[in-house]
Structure 1
Amino acid sequence: MTAAWKAAGLTYNRYLAIAGRTLRRSLKEGPRLQAERRGQMDLRFAKWENGKQGEPQSLAQANNAAIAQQAEK
């Protein structure tokens, strides 16, 4: 028997994201705001060149900068 999320065509990570968001939205105001803050992430990355790590950057800011750069061309 296949899991319901798999039968629906979802990945496990996507299933967990939907379940977590649904749970956070069902809470009362105070606990909901605290849970929503915990649910936010700030992904960071760094490029490596010649065996040395570059400056860590926010993924969201890097994506926005790349989109703006493409729009200029």
Structure 2
Amino acid sequence: MTKLKLTTVGTSTGVVIPKEMLTRMNVAKGDTLYAIEGPDGSYRLTPYDPMFERKMQAADDIMRRYRNTLHVLAQ
């Protein structure tokens, strides 16, 4: 477990994430992280965007269903 300390950033409150954690999450300065609330009130910090995943699954479904039509349109 890693302790993160809250700090003042301008008029807001921020947290400093250690370099080792950023490396393990494969993120760098300027990247976006998502805080996903769990059913027990906990939060999960992740670079994974669950809304984007749902949209990609929908797009994949459409491409599978209309494969032949999309192939003809691409020509």
Give the TM-score band, short-chain normalised: under 0.3
- When you count strand as a share of all residues, which structure comes out higher? 2
TM norm structure 1: 0.28
TM-score, normalised to structure 2's length?
0.27
Tell which structure's C-alpha radius of gyration is larger: 2
